[in-house]
Amino acid sequence: MAYLESRKNLAGSAGGLAGLVLTFTGVAGPYWPVVVAGLYGAGALVAPPERPAPPAFPSPSEQLDEVRADLTALRAYLADVDLPPDAAGALDGLTELLAALLDPGWSGELLAQDPEGVHVLARTVRRDLPEAVDSYVRTRWWTRMAPGGTSPERHLVRQLGLLRTEAERLAEVLRETESRRQESHTRYLEDRGPAAGGGGTAV
């Protein structure tokens, strides 16, 4: 079935049909089977090769939906982790910022046009943040058995601060994108000249 629908078969069939036309008009003579077969083969040879369809990767919007679902699962996991007050406060602020960035409203529309931004959020939600909290939990257990060295709480707070800085940088990029869009619209209205102010007549 795939060959019947292929370009080679369609082009060959067109050539074979031309051979039949030549046969019915008397041009092919007694050698019409050879002419029809030859024209079919010629058409099949000159037809462009089949182009395989590219893999259907998720679009940025679909990727964002997946990251939102992953953030929901991550927050459920984080709710069961016992953290000191400083780390808990930093974590709450970070997850709220991530949730705002992943909001399906205005930020989602901007991120759908920014694959790098989607990558940053996916990396934070799926790898960096879970690893930071899990490594804290594991290190805290060992520290209780063998005290000494830098407290795991300090490392966790530092890591959360770095992740928040990265998320804030992404938010700033999105803000600048909206600002440029607004400025562009202002210039467009200015370039239209006095007509942009309407055609009202003063009384």
- Per the CB < 8 A criterion, the answer to whether 151 and 143 are in contact is yes
**Which sequence spans correspond to the domains of the chain?**
7-46, 60-191
Nearest in space to 74 (alpha carbons), one of 130, 134, 157, 22: 130
Residue type, 46: V
The more confident residue out of 14 and 132 is: 132
pLDDT one-digit tens code per residue, 153-191: 999 999 999 999 999 999 898 888 888 888 998 998 988
pLDDT one-digit tens code per residue, 63-82: 888 999 999 999 999 999 99
Report the chain's terminal Cα–Cα distance, integer Å: 77
pLDDT one-digit tens code per residue, 109-130: 788 788 888 899 999 999 999 9
Average pLDDT of span 7-25? 64
Residue 200's pLDDT is 47
Residue 203's pLDDT is 41
Average pLDDT of span 135-156? 80
